[in-house]
Amino acid sequence: MVSGKNILIGIAGGIAAYKTAHLVREFIKAGANVKCIQTPASKEFITPLTLSTLSKNEVFSEFTSDEENPRWNDHVSLGLWADLFIIAPATANTLGKMCQGICDNLLMATYLSAKCPVYFAPAMDLDMYQHPSTKENLNKLKEFGNIIIPAESGELASGLVGEGRMAEPENIYKFICKDLASKLPLKNIKVLVTAGPTYESIDPVRFIGNRSSGKMGCELALNLANRGAEVMLVLGPSAQNPTHNNIIITRVESAEDMYQESVKRYDDCDIVIAAAAVADYTPANKFSEKLKKEQGTPQIEFQETKDILGFMGKTKKSQFLVGFALETNDEIDNAKSKLKRKNLDLIVLNSLNDKGAGFQYDTNKITILTKHNKMFSFELKSKQEVAQDIVNTILSEIDA
């Protein structure tokens, strides 16, 4: 949820500041980039050296740094750098000043400049936390669009026991991840993705397959999962193994297995992306023992496999159906007729004539055609970027 994100942590002057070191570690462990801003008072409770060592970044506190060669610590660019801003601990004093827009230190100025979501983890003694002015300040900060992480109950630095201690760092971390997940655009959307090749058995040892690596379908599954979708990935024999909490992988081998596993999930999903390179034919009779040379050259009879996407097109209710077409000639016409024949909403065309596109490559070059006769052409890109383009186009077509 936070991997690769820029996280700014503001630390105000309260005893709970010592716990912020653990919070920094939680985010660093999760793969986030972390920068810290301290109020001058907070340095009494935790040193910049500790925070800088853990965050692997310079810690900011004053409007300028380096006395001999003064440099402006630009609160505007710090605020804009952040994808998330967390004030932990948020003391009564800092809450009050932020409510009023007072700007007498770098943390306050950065808060006023930030455009990203801001989380506050209040920390103070129980009577301060219950005081009407604190409550009013917290409510006002909420009205401004900020998010408050409620203080927890327990023993306080004063020796009193009650509500007011800063939420434990792991609870702050979990709160933020849960909050971010609840706001993802594809939350509650279920997507079925088929990916990879299929293997059609001849005998226990041999099969007929194709060169699909499954990369494109797996990148699509990851992109959708990162946007909050629940992804059911039905994956043929492929070395790919996308790991994400929102992806459930079902491994299959043959076209028939892929058909069975996909159809089972069809009624339950909102979007289907059929990225698999499904065999169109399978041996009519599979030999139960390995074929031996002395039996002579085998004569293999083929029969058609079931068309998974074709079946889905025929029985479509409200699902948005996306197919792929890999063509070598008359690409656009062939893709258009496939779109119609399979009753799709959108088709992604890759041409084997484009260098770097199609099976085995890490790149792809696609054209998207929609049932409303729109056509979008894209440059050669990494399959990760192509997945982004495909999902963006699907979402804009669904919204259209």
Report the alpha-carbon distance of residue 18 to residue 312 in Å, rounded.
57
Report the alpha-carbon distance of residue 395 to residue 277 in Å, rounded.
24
Q: Output the smallest distance, CB 173 to ligand CTP, in A.
A: 40
Stretch near ligand CTP under the rule CB under 6 A, chosen from 38-46, 201-209, 322-330, 356-364 = 322-330
Nearer to ligand CTP, 38 or 305 (CB): 305
**One of 57, 93, 171, 210 is an active-site residue; which one?**
210
Q: Count the neighbouring beta carbons within 10 Å of the beta carbon of residue 264.
A: 13
Task: Write each residue from 52 to 81 as x if it is in contact with ligand CTP (CB under 6 A), else as -, in one continuous string.
Answer: ------------------------------
* 323 sits near ligand CTP (criterion: CB under 6 A): yes
Among 324, 339, 349, 364, binds ligand CTP (CB under 6 A): 324
Which residues does 197 contact at the CB level (< 8 Å), separation at least 6? Answer: 209, 210, 211, 212, 214, 236, 237, 238, 276, 277, 279
Q: What is the DSSP letter of 25?
A: H
Nearer to ligand CTP, 37 or 279 (CB): 279
Chain positions 331 to 370 lying near ligand CTP, rule: CB under 6 A, are: 338
CB 42 within 8 A of CB 70: no
Nearer to ligand CTP, 194 or 393 (CB): 194
Token code pair at residue 374: 């729109």
* 276 sits near ligand CTP (criterion: CB under 6 A): yes
Q: Output the smallest distance, CB 356 to ligand CTP, in A.
A: 20
Nearer to ligand CTP, 15 or 308 (CB): 308
Q: Output the smallest distance, CB 263 to ligand CTP, in A.
A: 10
Nearer to ligand CTP, 118 or 276 (CB): 276
* 305 sits near ligand CTP (criterion: CB under 6 A): yes
Which residues does 232 contact at the CB level (< 8 Å), separation at least 6? Answer: 190, 191, 192, 193, 248, 250, 265, 269
Q: Output the smallest distance, CB 334 to ligand CTP, in A.
A: 7
**Closest by CA position to 346, among listed 396, 279, 293:** 396
Task: Write each residue from 202 to 241 as x if it is in contact with ligand CTP (CB under 6 A), else as -, in one continuous string.
Answer: ----------------------------------------
CB 203 within 8 A of CB 290: yes
Q: Where are the alpha helices (DSSP H) in the chain?
A: 17-29, 48-55, 75-81, 92-100, 106-113, 126-130, 132-143, 169-182, 215-226, 255-266, 308-314, 331-341, 383-399
Nearer to ligand CTP, 149 or 274 (CB): 274
* 278 sits near ligand CTP (criterion: CB under 6 A): yes
Q: Output the smallest distance, CB 324 to ligand CTP, in A.
A: 4
**Closest by CA position to 223, among listed 381, 354, 35:** 381
Q: Output the smallest distance, CB 398 to ligand CTP, in A.
A: 18
CB 109 within 8 A of CB 12: no
Stretch near ligand CTP under the rule CB under 6 A, chosen from 24-32, 59-67, 114-122, 303-311 = 303-311
Residue 210 annotated as catalytic: yes
Q: Output the smallest distance, CB 100 to ligand CTP, in A.
A: 58
3-state helix/strand/coil string of 55-101: HCCCEECCCEECCCCCEECCHHHHHHHCCEEEEEEECHHHHHHHHHC
**Closest by CA position to 273, among listed 308, 238, 240, 314:** 308
Residues making contact with ligand CTP (CB under 6 A) = 194, 255, 274, 276, 278, 280, 305, 307-309, 323-326, 338
Residues classed as catalytic: 210
